[in-house]
Amino acid sequence: FESGTLTGKTVFITAGPTREALDPVRYISNHSSGKMGYALAQAAAEAGAKVKLISGPVTLPPPARIETITVESAQEMLEASLQGLAHCDIFIAAAAVADYRPTAVSEHKIKKGSEEIMELHLVKNPDIVATVASMENKPFTVGFAAETRDVLKYAKDKLTRKNLDMIIANDVSRNDIGFNSDENAVTVVTHSGAETLPQTSKRKLATQLIDHIANQYTPLAR
């Protein structure tokens, strides 16, 4: 039998949203379903990789035979991403990480008062994929760019700014694809060019993306 394109490789994948607590019963989050990240984890495992899936809270069942670490906040996701990173060959950041978290988590449930306007104070979360990509001996690092306009321009900016090896860009202004949908259409951007993959199921797209990543990942050149 044939061995897969990623046999012997370790792949870390972040997936789903993060939850940033305000108090014991409330949080700030987003509508990420985790479908794309989970499909990538499945496809990477099918290609022979040892996969660590680092997942925010989602309703998907944990994939069979894949090490899945569940986290809540961006800070927890960062910690889980750095754990064992020295053994990671390819890091794929598919999570929709909350950009900001409340400056403090209230110990008790925040009470409603008489005021009509309430202010929340937020502080920027660490950028997980940029932190990984800033490491010495960094893994081949892949990010996602969800944009509503100038998709390619912003994706290329992000590739450079975050020191990534590949960006998978998609247009989230369309509601038939992307966030929370079963289908997606993306453009794969690397330092050597861009290629658009037509709309298909996230499962099929994941297999194509893992193929692209395996082709681009050249351990000998590192």
Binding positions for CTP are: 99, 109, 126-129, 144, 158, 162
Please identify, using beta-carbon distances, which residue of 6 and 145 lies nearer to ligand C5P. 145
144 lies in the binding site for ligand C5P (CB under 6 A): yes
145 lies in the binding site for ligand C5P (CB under 6 A): yes
Q: What is the largest CA-CA distance in the chain?
A: 70
Q: Which two tokens stand for residue 31?
A: 């509508």
Is there a catalytic annotation at residue 180?
A: no
Half-sphere exposure in the Cβ direction for 207 (13 Å, CA): 6
38 lies in the binding site for ligand C5P (CB under 6 A): no
143 lies in the binding site for ligand C5P (CB under 6 A): yes
213 lies in the binding site for ligand C5P (CB under 6 A): no
Ramachandran bin of 153, using left for φ above 0, alpha for ψ from -120 to 50, beta for the remaining angles: alpha
Kindly write out the interface string for residues 42-81 of this chain, putting x where it contacts ligand C5P by CB under 6 A and - elsewhere: --------------------------------x-------
d(CA 94, CA 81): 12
97 lies in the binding site for ligand C5P (CB under 6 A): yes
Q: Which residue has the tokens 């681009």?
A: 216
Task: Work out which of 11, 36, 93, 169 binds ligand C5P, going by CB under 6 A.
Answer: 93
Active site residues: 30
Which spans of this chain sit near ligand C5P (rule: CB under 6 A)? 14, 74, 93, 95, 97, 125, 127-129, 143-145, 158
